[in-house]
Amino acid sequence: MDSRAFVTVLKRVYHKVYHMTISCTKITTGKKMELVRATTQNTQISCAIKASNELVKNLHRDGLDRGCVATFNDSMVLRQTFTKDETSLYRSLNGLRNFVSGGTRLYDSMVDVVKTFQRNGNRSRPWILVVVTDGDDNRSSRSLKKCAEEISQQFTKDSSNFLFLVGVGDGVDSTKMEQMASIGNFIYFPVKDFFLLELVFLTIAHKITTSLSLSLGNVTVGDYSASWAEVQKHRNLSQVAIDYALLIDVSASMNNVIKPPSPQCFEGHDLKKKYHIGNWYCDVCGKDSNTTVSQYHCGICNFDACPSHCKSGEKCKSESTCRSRHPLRYAQSPGMWMCDECGKYYYGRSLKCFRCDYDMCSTCLAKEDLALLMTTSVVTGQCPGQVTQKRNDNPSKFYYDNLFRYSAKVF
Question: Applying CB under 5 A, which residues contact Zn ion?
Answer: 24, 26, 265, 267, 269, 282, 284-285, 287, 298, 300-301, 306, 322, 324, 326, 339, 341-342, 353, 355-356, 361, 364, 383, 385
State in angstroms the smallest separation of the CB of 323 from Zn ion.
7
State in angstroms the smallest separation of the CB of 309 from Zn ion.
5
Identity of the amino acid at 200: V
State in angstroms the smallest separation of the CB of 13 from Zn ion.
13
Nearer of residues 222 and 335 to Zn ion, judged by Cβ: 335
Nearer of residues 233 and 269 to Zn ion, judged by Cβ: 269
Report in angstroms the alpha-carbon separations of 411 from 188, 190, 396, 403: 8, 8, 19, 10
* Contact of 188 with 165, CB cutoff 8 Å: yes
Cα 24 to Cα 9: distance, rounded to the nearest angstrom: 19
State in angstroms the smallest separation of the CB of 35 from Zn ion.
22
The runs of H, that is alpha helices, within 253-396 are: 362-373
Report in angstroms the alpha-carbon separations of 67 from 80, 124, 130, 131, 401: 8, 15, 11, 14, 31
* Contact of 286 with 308, CB cutoff 8 Å: no
Nearer of residues 72 and 358 to Zn ion, judged by Cβ: 358
Cα 92 to Cα 80: distance, rounded to the nearest angstrom: 6
Q: 231 - beta bridge partners?
A: none
Nearer of residues 258 and 298 to Zn ion, judged by Cβ: 298
State in angstroms the smallest separation of the CB of 403 from Zn ion.
21
Nearer of residues 231 and 271 to Zn ion, judged by Cβ: 271
Nearer of residues 215 and 389 to Zn ion, judged by Cβ: 389
State in angstroms the smallest separation of the CB of 64 from Zn ion.
38
Cα 364 to Cα 362: distance, rounded to the nearest angstrom: 5
Cα 327 to Cα 68: distance, rounded to the nearest angstrom: 48
State in angstroms the smallest separation of the CB of 337 from Zn ion.
10
Nearer of residues 114 and 282 to Zn ion, judged by Cβ: 282
Packing angle between helix 228-237 and helix 44-59, nearest 10 degrees? 40
* Contact of 245 with 67, CB cutoff 8 Å: yes
State in angstroms the smallest separation of the CB of 264 from Zn ion.
7
Nearer of residues 192 and 326 to Zn ion, judged by Cβ: 326
The runs of H, that is alpha helices, within 80-173 are: 86-94, 106-120, 144-151
Q: Which helix (H) or strand (E) holds 83?
A: strand 76-83
Cα 111 to Cα 119: distance, rounded to the nearest angstrom: 12
Q: CA nearest 165: which of 141, 190, 143, 148? A: 190
